[in-house]
Structure 1
Amino acid sequence: MTIIRGIVLYTRQYKDNDLLVRILTETYGMRTFLARGAKKATSKLSAGTQPYTIVTFDGALPKRETGLGYMNDVQDIKVYSRLIEDIEANAYAALITSLIDASFEEGEKITRWYNQLYVALQKLDEGLDPQIIANIFEIQLLVPLGVAPNLRADPITGQVDGKFDYSEKYNGIISEHHFNLDDQRLMLDQKTVFYLRQFSVIDMRQVHDIKMSAITKRGLQRVIDYIYEKQVGLKPRAKSFIEQMHSWQNTLVNFRRNK
């Protein structure tokens, strides 16, 4: 047996009382473990198989990269209560974990991303803006997803200062001196461009309390969604749920205003 530490991403029912548990491990990358009897009320595994739980357990790694491991005795768990109670924080956690799951191969060692996710869950639990936390992941995961837009400098001259806009044609930012080269550029305001560039390189540990206007947040999400739709071709179910959730919130706000 091996002591394994990881972050539970999600679970799937396997048999009546068994679960398949998808875990981003600290050492062995993304793995799927069979937790026998985890759905039983008396099971010691039950608490350690909840999504977004940090779990240390006695288990067995799969013999093949694509095989199942086994989750046995749970040694320690860390639960984030806000991610259970707050539907918005939970939804963004689901988006982040689904994107990580889609970005890497089974068993690929991604300790950096384990650490980033570990810190992100703490930030979400502390009440930081969940959209901003998710946006950082959405932008930085573009590299392993194979898009890797250039958000540092104009690709034509290497210019790093001044006004920029996002260009799918040039897969990144172009300076105002080259706006005429792409009439399909996104016409982003400069605050949106600033955060797009900053979030592409920021370490999650540096994120504390980022203040961003609602207009800038919408602009940032617009360009991220555009890149994922046009260049990545990926839209997790959690993203659709978040869009529906925001639609409900807007409907409720409008209802209250018109009372």
Structure 2
Amino acid sequence: MVEKRMMTFDGIVMYQRDHKERDLLVKILTREAGKRMFFIKNGKSKRNHLAAELQPLTVATYEGTLNQTGLSFIDDVKQSHISRELMHDVELNAYATYILGLIDSAFVDNQPIELWFDWVKLALHKMEQGFDGQGLANYFELQLLPAFGLQQQWGSCVVCGRRDLPMDFSEKFNGTLCQLHWDQDAQRMQANPRAILILSKMAHLNLEQLGSLTLKAETKQDMARVMDKIYDDQVGIHLRSKSFIQQLHSWQNRLSRESQD
């Protein structure tokens, strides 16, 4: 017999999936019990009293049954919040969705990950307050690397340990190289040192310590390029939300060039 627990729990809706003709499966990151899949009977109906509180990126306190195996169930919603900023800003929505996708890929279901719940909730709040979406996504990419089995050195040269010189990232050495040792890896990222400096600082900060970022477009592009290459080459996950972000940036760049012509 499946063990059942009726409880009140905090959750962040990750995504919905159609199930049969009228029902929904809803993946929720819960603070108390990790990622869980919930069965919502008649979830597609507009009359379902839970519909509004089960939209992706909703942060809510739910009451329901958490099963150790199989599907779980929601009976009621105590309180909920969904950011209008995230709903109306396509790019911010995509970055928030991407962050949740990273969490989904990095951890198995039913494993409590309270710290990551708290960080995702804080990240959504920061986005709502105007924090740069890409900066937050890069932060989560860096912090999740150990969960994917990667241990990298950021901020000091892997050869000599110096921190006071311009740095670049080397996949060969799995860390940053100072300018004196760039010749050690002809295939290094060739990134803007400012981008590497910011990524290095992010790698060693608690999310609560991460202040607002004002970044030049060139710096942001190099930050994204470095993290994309690491995830493509070493992590090996390819999320649809990230592909959408890349396409969105491609469209934006194309429109910008056309407006300048």
**What TM-score range do you get, normalising by the shorter chain?**
over 0.9
Matches within 5 A, 1:38-187: 38-64=43-69, 67-187=70-190
The 4+ residue runs of structure 1 with deviation greater than 6 A are none
Q: Percent identity?
A: 37
Matches within 5 A, 1:199-218: 199-218=202-221
Q: Indicate if the aligned counterparts of 1:38 and 1:49 stay in contact, CA closer than 8 A.
A: no
Distance 1:196 1:244 in 2: 23
User: Please, which runs of 5 or more residues in structure 2 have no aligned partner?
Assistant: 1-5
Q: 2:3 aligns to what?
A: none
Q: Any idea what the Cα deviations from partners look like across 1:97-133, whole Å, max 9, x if unmatched?
A: 1111100111222111111100110111122221111
Amino acid at match of 1:48: E
Q: For 1:212, what is the secondary structure of its paired residue?
A: coil
Given the two structures, how large is their TM-score scaled by the length of structure 1? 0.93
Is 1:18 matched up with 2:9?
no
Q: 2:197 aligns to what?
A: 194
Q: Any idea what the Cα deviations from partners look like across 1:131-151, whole Å, max 9, x if unmatched?
A: 111111112111211123211
Q: Indicate if the aligned counterparts of 2:68 and 2:110 stay in contact, CA closer than 8 A.
A: no
Distance 1:228 1:41 in 2: 39
Q: 1:70 to 1:152 in 2, by over 3 A?
A: same
Distance 2:180 2:74 in 1: 57
Distance 1:121 1:206 in 2: 15
Q: Any idea what the Cα deviations from partners look like across 1:161-210, whole Å, max 9, x if unmatched?
A: 32322111111112233322211111222211111101112222233421
Q: Indicate if the aligned counterparts of 1:166 and 1:186 stay in contact, CA closer than 8 A.
A: yes
Q: Indicate if the aligned counterparts of 2:96 and 2:124 stay in contact, CA closer than 8 A.
A: yes
Q: Any idea what the Cα deviations from partners look like across 1:35-61, whole Å, max 9, x if unmatched?
A: 112221111110121001012111111
Q: Indicate if the aligned counterparts of 1:35 and 1:72 stay in contact, CA closer than 8 A.
A: no
Distance 1:16 1:92 in 2: 30
Distance 1:55 1:222 in 2: 34
Amino acid at match of 2:195: T
Q: Cα RMSD (Å) of the superposition?
A: 1.5
Distance 2:171 2:181 in 1: 13
User: Please, which runs of 5 or more residues in structure 1 have no aligned partner?
Assistant: none
Distance 1:98 1:3 in 2: 24
